Chain A
């Protein structure tokens, strides 16, 4: 009997060594808090790192989306430029971009400090997660915004323009808007503008750069007829485009849910849930509206609808109830359809539909929190006031509108001026011959599909 008892005790000690320690030193409140704090930092770091990787993976989505939506003769160029501009963006963001966002605020307009960012190796005890992870996560967002901007350049921009504009956009335009809204001392943050994961910061900013670019570049050859009617320039691979959308959708869980910047009590799950609802609703709404108006269920519109839903819910995912997420998605899906028609009517060539998907839906998404934000969710991890439909009156809606207007205007004007100067100095657009033969050949010397493009 005694022998059996000894054997059991040894096994318990092996399995639960703390029992053995307990006899030596009782845990203090401090030691437990410290252990829990470490565990939290570890979990948060892990989650934000995973989210960063998901957002970086969205670049693959953009590659597929853009390449599929454009013509075969430009495929290698459209795909490849995403990689090298991401590389260049990384360097610029490291040198100045990150610092302009999160450095010490200078009048709420721009941050100063943290240039050539050199983070501590590990998180300090009072941090939520490791600083290097924050850099990677923020860089991924900046790179998404840049990828959106490229939509306006597609199929006719010179390669050198991509290089120069990356520096301007990542080095100045994006950081300024991000500083205004996401640096606690930014002037829009001071007004408690709600933009949870960046409908304005990331999507609208990118779209406004795309708008400036497409206006200055002028439409692609063959897009519009002399009488102003538009032709359809079909992308070369709808399967690529569709794959691009689902990759982006997948990555968006990092984008939105990751923006909780921590694990906490699992609130990121709710954010992901709202994200999914809005995207689904928007895809359905866009498909149905195209079916009703055009008589055919248009795949391209449906895909853009799904993306528009994701863009719209980006600002509001942490602020709204599930029914509101569905409404936000439905409206985004309808909006993107009419917006695509509108830009075409205005004679603006938007090859990847960036203006509609990221611009219009970005505006709608930002305004939507001014309508639907609830007090309880604001208390859970947000800021600002409840929306119009939750007794908050027009105040938050006004702040949202102000944020959209100022951020959009800033991004547009600076992009326009920068591109205008580039246009004067080196020109934005490839020659007519180069455009006709395709940018694969004119900019890179080899076709993306060497066997399939007619010489």
Chain B
């Protein structure tokens, strides 16, 4: 544990000393090597350390991006305060070695329309460079297009608020997905208050319109836990992972989704799943036993998910989220199976709770 902390601190320090992306990339490579050879990269403390180091790397990249623009002809420092947001696993501090980019930008709104256009232009350029830099560092672009180069995820505070409101007032499948993404946001660089204010409005809307939870429930439970009728684990039928288990979509995502929904329902602040479980307990929404069961099950799942890491593919660090057949010891299967059963119960628990609260029925879900 101490060793992990030491290693983590030393890398964070090294990262702040880098002056360009090439150095940073080298550090990432060495970090991965150390994690996979000297540590169990699928241990909880190591996952935690990895997220801290990745945060530091991403901060450094954002810093490089600011610098790059300011050094360009006609360039400048950021014209207004902004929050560089991580969404998805980054937002939940659950990044894996193979996580991709899920990010966005919130910046201060300015009154003057001409100035506002200039600010927009700055952040458009900023987003382009930043994404390019992250790719160079080995973070693949998000396939779901949750990325700051997309206008949807790069707006000033006012625009963000009206966009969020429009999503909430028209809770179709895609918009609800965006709202759930937004719930996992975390500011890693800049002014967190920009996100916090937005989030307060988010929470307020949910309090006043609890029906939106039903729409979120439909979206949330759409991923099934890969447990069969007789409690059997459903394995990959074909492909290179044949006989393996899709830990990401068959266990991790359903678990995260259910806890996220409970967090939204109970207005829990904090984005990491384990943190959310803890806070649900502290606020008295779940009992100690449930808290412990969920905590244990999720720890197993996230650690096994970390074990799905694959190697450098075309200079990107990737993972398909699947445990291969040869990675599955009977002990692992046993642990995963019981955790997946917990995930299934959790899904049912969430479904019943949200349905009951909203007075609606979800039997068709």
- Could you list which residues of chain A lie within 8 angstroms of chain B, going by C-beta atoms? 225, 227, 229-232, 291-295
Closest CB of chain A to B253's CB: distance in Å? 14
**A293:B234 contact, CB within 8 angstroms:** yes
With A293-B228, A293-B232: A229-B241 Cβ-Cβ less than 8 Å: yes
**B238:A230 contact, CB within 8 angstroms:** yes
CA distance A291 to B239 in the complex (A): 19
The one of B224, B226, B232, B239 that contacts A229, using a Cβ cutoff of 8 Å: B239
Q: Which residues of B contact A291 (CB under 8 A)?
A: 228-229
The one of B234, B238, B240, B241 that contacts A295, using a Cβ cutoff of 8 Å: B234
Query: 30 A-B residue contacts at CB 8 Å?
Result: A225-B239, A225-B240, A229-B238, A229-B239, A229-B240, A229-B241, A229-B242, A229-B243, A229-B325, A230-B238, A230-B239, A230-B242, A231-B238, A231-B240, A232-B237, A232-B238, A232-B239, A291-B228, A291-B229, A292-B228, A292-B230, A292-B232, A293-B228, A293-B232, A293-B234, A294-B234, A295-B224, A295-B226, A295-B228, A295-B234
Q: Which residues of B contact A293 (CB under 8 A)?
A: 228, 232, 234
CA distance A230 to B235 in the complex (A): 13
CA distance A231 to B239 in the complex (A): 4
**A294:B239 contact, CB within 8 angstroms:** no
Lowest 8 A-B CB distances belong to which pairs?
A: A295-B234, A232-B238, A229-B242, A292-B229, A292-B228, A225-B240, A229-B240, A294-B237
Q: Which of A225, A229, A230, A232 counts the most chain B CB atoms within 10 A?
A: A229
Interface of A is mostly: loop
Q: Which residues of A contact B234 (CB under 8 A)?
A: 293-295
CA distance A295 to B344 in the complex (A): 14
CA distance A13 to B278 in the complex (A): 102
CA distance A440 to B174 in the complex (A): 42
- B 247-280 binary contact with A (CB < 8 Å = 1; else 0): 0000000000000000000000000000000000
Given contacts A232-B238, A291-B228, A292-B232, 10 further A-B contacts (CB under 8 A): A227-B240, A229-B238, A229-B240, A229-B325, A231-B239, A231-B240, A232-B237, A232-B239, A292-B229, A293-B234
Closest CB of chain B to A204's CB: distance in Å? 27
Closest CB of chain B to A121's CB: distance in Å? 57
Q: Which residues of A contact B243 (CB under 8 A)?
A: 229
Closest CB of chain A to B249's CB: distance in Å? 11
CA distance A230 to B226 in the complex (A): 20
Closest to B234 in A: A295
Q: Which residues of B contact A294 (CB under 8 A)?
A: 234, 237
Closest CB of chain B to A225's CB: distance in Å? 5
Closest CB of chain B to A133's CB: distance in Å? 46
Closest CB of chain B to A296's CB: distance in Å? 8
CA distance A295 to B230 in the complex (A): 11
CA distance A225 to B230 in the complex (A): 31
Q: Which of B203-255 contact A (CB under 8 A)?
A: 224, 226, 228-230, 232, 234, 237-243
- B 27-67 binary contact with A (CB < 8 Å = 1; else 0): 00000000000000000000000000000000000000000
Q: Which residues of A contact B239 (CB under 8 A)?
A: 225, 229-232
CA distance A292 to B309 in the complex (A): 28
Q: Which residues of B contact A227 (CB under 8 A)?
A: 240
Closest to B224 in A: A295
Closest to A232 in B: B238
Closest CB of chain B to A221's CB: distance in Å? 16
Closest CB of chain A to B311's CB: distance in Å? 15
Q: Which residues of B contact A292 (CB under 8 A)?
A: 228-230, 232
CA distance A232 to B232 in the complex (A): 22
Closest to A229 in B: B242
Closest to A227 in B: B240
Q: Which residues of B contact A230 (CB under 8 A)?
A: 238-239, 242
Q: Which of B234, B240, B241, B242 counts the most chain A CB atoms within 10 A?
A: B242
Q: Which residues of A contact B240 (CB under 8 A)?
A: 225, 227, 229, 231
Q: Which residues of A contact B224 (CB under 8 A)?
A: 295
CA distance A294 to B229 in the complex (A): 10
CA distance A395 to B27 in the complex (A): 75
Q: Which of B234, B237, B239 counts the most chain A CB atoms within 10 A?
A: B237
Closest CB of chain A to B328's CB: distance in Å? 13
CA distance A295 to B245 in the complex (A): 12
Closest to A226 in B: B240
Closest CB of chain B to A303's CB: distance in Å? 16
Q: Which residues of B contact A225 (CB under 8 A)?
A: 239-240
Closest to B244 in A: A229
CA distance A293 to B325 in the complex (A): 16
CA distance A107 to B44 in the complex (A): 75
Closest CB of chain B to A223's CB: distance in Å? 10
Closest CB of chain A to B365's CB: distance in Å? 17
Q: Which residues of A contact B228 (CB under 8 A)?
A: 291-293, 295
